[in-house]
Amino acid sequence: MTRSDRPSDLAAPDPRPPLSSLLEELLGPCDRSRVLVTGWFSFLEGEATAGDVLAQRAVSAALERLRISHDTAWSPRFAPGALTLATALPGDYSHLLFVCGPLHGKQIAALHHRYASCRRVAVGVSVIARDDPAVSGFHRVSQRDGPDSGDLPDLATAAPATLPVPLVGIALTHGQGEYRERRLHDEVATTVLPWLAGKDCARIDADTRLGHGDWRRCETPDQYLSLLGRLDLMVTDRLHGLVLSLRAGVPALAVDPVKGGAKVMAQARLLHWPAALAGETLSVELLDRWWDWCRSPEGTAAARRRSVVLERAAAAEHAAGS
């Protein structure tokens, strides 16, 4: 590889104007005006990706720095109860600002029609065809890519940084038919899953089942243990979800989904692990209490102590058999 062929990842990026300066130039005079921020996250039939919402966050922060009054229109499917395009009256705004995503389709064309009285600006967008009415309907367009673009950095990279949220694995089972009338698996899932949806955390499917040739599943136990080791917390109603999380030093909030208790509760007792709940008395209040404990320094330290004990036991077992 010659010097000219080497990646330039260590090179400093090209200087770009701050987002606030770019918006000030695109919007024009904004004295005593109000901006409506929109994007694909605004459409009932659209979608809210992490990048789209980070772009909205970056634009909103820049508008605040400029002291420009603004609202954001959200899809009611993504943000129930928030301002929507249906309730954001055109006469209340001087500008419509569309952020991120590709400019194409009937939904953007409808924006031009509804907000015809507003100055319409798009920033950080992709342009596939300049003659698309969805593009030409804007007074100003600042592209991140496409014909005649300056390849601007994506707006998501300019979003204000926040503290990381916990990474939580979920391992629930709807099977175990052998327990027959003692099964509470569906009831447990009906309580746990909506509760989890309301928690500020990154959720990942950490099903203990392995799979060959299925990219969605780990193929070996070692891969699964590696996954567990990167979690901050496990929520599970499976025996191995509990014991393998503790072996990895990760707190497990476990629920025994069998009436009267079965293998999950038995293993929790054996390991002296307190964050194990009975399925028949499960409640959101109990889940909240033990979530807080598992996320506390006390809960984290308790999981790490169990990990040391389990690893020592595994090492002793290996030594005895060699």
pLDDT in tens, 28-43: 876 668 999 999 999 9
pLDDT at 148: 65
Q: Which sequence spans correspond to the domains of the chain?
A: 17-158, 167-321
Confidence of residue 147 (pLDDT cuts 50, 70, 90): low
Mean pLDDT, all residues of the chain: 89
Instruction: Domain 167-321: give its CATH code.
Output: 3.40.50.2000
Question: For the residues 5-22, what does the mean pLDDT come to?
Answer: 63
Is the confidence at residue 13, as pLDDT, over 80? Answer: no
Of 30 and 71, more confident: 71
Whether the pLDDT of residue 287 is over 70: the answer is: yes
Q: Model confidence at 124, in pLDDT bands (50, 70, 90)?
A: very high
Rounded CA separation 184/260 (Å): 10
Tokens for 65?
């720095």
Tell me, what's the pLDDT at 94?
95
User: Predicted confidence band at 93 (pLDDT cuts at 50, 70, 90)?
Assistant: very high
Mean pLDDT of 267-273: 96
pLDDT reported for residue 213:
87
Average pLDDT over residues 176-184: 76
Model confidence at 9: pLDDT above 60: no
Mean pLDDT across 202-227: 93
2-11, 49-58, 68-77, 251-260: which has the minimum mean pLDDT? 2-11
The pLDDT value recorded for residue 207 is 93
Tell me, which fold does domain 17-158 have in CATH?
Rossmann fold (3.40.50)
17-158 shares its CATH topology with 167-321: yes
pLDDT of residue 185: 87
